Structure 1
Amino acid sequence: MRFVLTALLWLLTTVALAVAVPAVWAQQHLVSEQGYAELAASAATETRLRDAMADVLTTQITALAADRGYSLNEMLVHQVAAAYTGNAGFPGQFAQANRIAHRWMFTDDIPHADADDQWLIDIAPMLSDPSLSATLGDLDLDVPDTLTVPVTAPSPELRPGRLQAIATWGPWVSAGAAVLTGTFALLTLAASRRRGKGLAALGVSALLVGAAGWAGLEVADRHIAAALDRAEGDFRRIAEVMVGHAEDSLHHWLNMTLIAGLALVVTGAVASMLGGLRRPE
């Protein structure tokens, strides 16, 4: 009976851990506005993203100038935009732009709710950056307070605040999964006849979850590629870099899970050996 109880608790621990790892990661890096902004800032250090954003800014600067009667050399404008995206302040401003995009999807604080079928990003702060203004000289571009450009093609599946429920319940789900994992793990150890074997079993749980996570990401790649097809123009390149950084971050969490599992297996095996040596023959 005790073996059955221990096996059941071990299974529950494994399931809870399989939910907790991706849930806590997603809460910290995607659902949390601060975490998403930090992810964007990290991705903005990549040359591919900087180049793509320079193309976006070139298009918008040229269009603004045309509206005010100026005809600009796109090559020169691109050089100015590339210099801006290459400076040290760009990642922070790119992160701020993504905060607004995050609010569009995760909250009802939506400054541009008139476009209800596209994911938008506000690039006005970038165009208003002093380094850009100084380089462009005396041009009066009169950048508006908000200048949104579409990240995705129009889709009925996209609407402001669509993921608001996830933002509301995500912290509770991730915290609950983590608490349940810890609780079931302690109960598994308490129910085990030998603590060493219990630790090793918990290590196997972590190894299974880490390996399953890697396999799951490989399967998810095809669906991610399909989702990226909705991105507009240069934003497809930007999205690819950001997705790559997100996957690298999740891979790191899964690797840490595997390392923790291996450490528990080794610790449990050593504890079992030492326990066996202490037993009288």
Structure 2
Amino acid sequence: MRTFVSAVATVLGVLLAAVAVPAIWLDRNLVQEDGFVELAAPLGKNPEFQQQLATAAVGTIDTSAVPGFLEDLVQPVLEDAATSLAGLPGYPAAWEETLRKSHRLSFPQAPADPGATGSVSSLTLDVAPLVALGVEEISRATRLPLDPPGETLINVGQPEQREWTERLATYAPMGYMLAAGSGIAFLLALVAARRRWTVLMAAGLGGLALAGLWALGAQIGSARALATDTGNEVANLFRNEFVAAATADFTRWTVAAAIAGGVLVVLGTVAGIASRRRPGATR
């Protein structure tokens, strides 16, 4: 009976861990605002993305209030702003605020900014902070009063993906409870086992198998995400860079799981050899 309970608890622990780890990663890196910003912030340093994003942001600036005879003056300033936007001192802060505003639009548990309008997809960039930075630079250069918009959206995905963000916000935080349940199951397996080294071995092998499955799942998920065309060059570039960053970050988790699994296998092997050398030992 003890062996049966230990086996069932071990299998349950592995199954719970299989869901808990990806759920926790999703919660920390997508659902939570700070995690999303930390993961996506380096994308703003990509020169190609910087240029396309700056061009798109400056291209949305409304110059209708500028008198017609000044258009020839404003146009070169707009082009210069698109080129130099990423080099302005305020760019890092504007990019971070862009990510935060975008996250609040995409995930329902975070309150939307006042005045936010329109439907959004799973990842929608609100580049209003970058536009405001461009407007400030243009106003400084031309001495013309220009009002920055409160919201400037660039969709990164399809509208039906919105429901996936709602599901993530609801279910991803449950990963912590599943992880606790997995730990309790493994503890029960150790307590009930007649040969505890077998639990270590099984847990280690399970960890190695899960690491492989997670890596495969990450590859499949990345391929599916990259196969979705947003119809926007800036959005496509953001998607490509973000998927690459997310895959690389999750890979570190799978490697850590594989290392932990390998350590458990070694410990189980050593404990098993040691138990066989002790006369009358049952554990």
TM-score bracket for the superposition, by shorter chain length: 0.7 to 0.9
Higher alpha-carbon deviation: 253-262 or 183-192: 183-192
Residue matched to 2:233: 233
How many angstroms does 1:231 deviate by?
5.3
Which residue number in structure 2 is paired with residue 64 of structure 1? 62
Q: What are the Cα deviations for residues 189-238 of structure 1, in whole angstroms up to 9, with x where unaligned?
A: 122222222212111111111000011122223321233x1252312111
Q: Tell me if structure 2 keeps the 8 A contact 1:120–1:148.
A: no
CA contact under 8 A between 1:57 and 1:81: conserved in structure 2?
A: no
Q: Alpha-carbon deviation of 1:45?
A: 3.1
Give, in whole Å, the separation in 2 of the partners of 1:247 and 1:262: 22
CA distance in 2, matches of 1:167, 1:196: 39
Unaligned stretches of 5+ in structure 2? none
Cα shift at 1:129: 3.2
Residue 35 of structure 2 is matched in structure 1 by: 35
1:78 aligned residue: 82
Contact 2:85 2:91 (C-alpha < 8 Å) held by counterparts? no
- 2:212 equivalent in structure 1: 211
Q: CA deviation at 1:181?
A: 1.1
Distance 1:135 1:98 in 2: 24
- Summarize the alignment of residues 103-122 of structure 1 with structure 2, pairs less than 5 Å apart: 103-107=104-108, 109-111=111-113, 113-116=116-119, 120-122=124-126
* Cα offsets for 1:141-187 (capped at 9, x unmatched): 5232513122247x55266x87345424432x111111111111111
Structure 2 letter corresponding to 1:64: D
Amino acid at match of 2:46: E
Match of 2:9 in 1: 9
- Runs (4+) off by over 6 Å: none
Stretches of structure 1 that go unaligned for 5 or more consecutive residues are: none
Structure 1 residue 12: Cα displacement:
0.9
| 2 and 244 in structure 1: CA distance in 2 versus 1, 3 angstrom threshold | same
Is contact 1:127–1:143 with CA below 8 Å preserved after alignment?
A: no
1:175 aligned residue: 176
Residue identity matched to 1:195: R
Q: Deviations over 1:74-119 (max 9, x none)?
A: 65333212423xx6x5344322212222121212733455322556
Specify the SS of the correspondent of 1:217: helix
3-state DSSP of counterpart to 1:129: helix
Alignment coverage as a number of residue pairs: 272
Q: Percent identity over the alignment?
A: 25
Shift of the 92–11 alpha-carbon distance from structure 1 to 2, 3 Å rule, reads farther
Query: Counterpart of 2:194 in 1: which secondary structure?
Result: coil
Q: Counterparts of 2:186 and 2:266 in 1: how far apart (Å)?
A: 17
> Does residue 165 of structure 2 align to residue 163 of structure 1?
yes
Name the CA distance, whole Å, in 1 between partners of 2:209 and 2:79. 53
Q: 1:279 to 1:141 in 2, by over 3 A?
A: farther
User: Distance in 1 between the 2:103 and 2:56 partners?
Assistant: 19
TM-score (norm 1): 0.83
SS for the counterpart of 1:230 is coil
Moved more, 270-279 or 9-18: 270-279
Which amino acid is the alignment partner of residue 226 of structure 1?
A: A
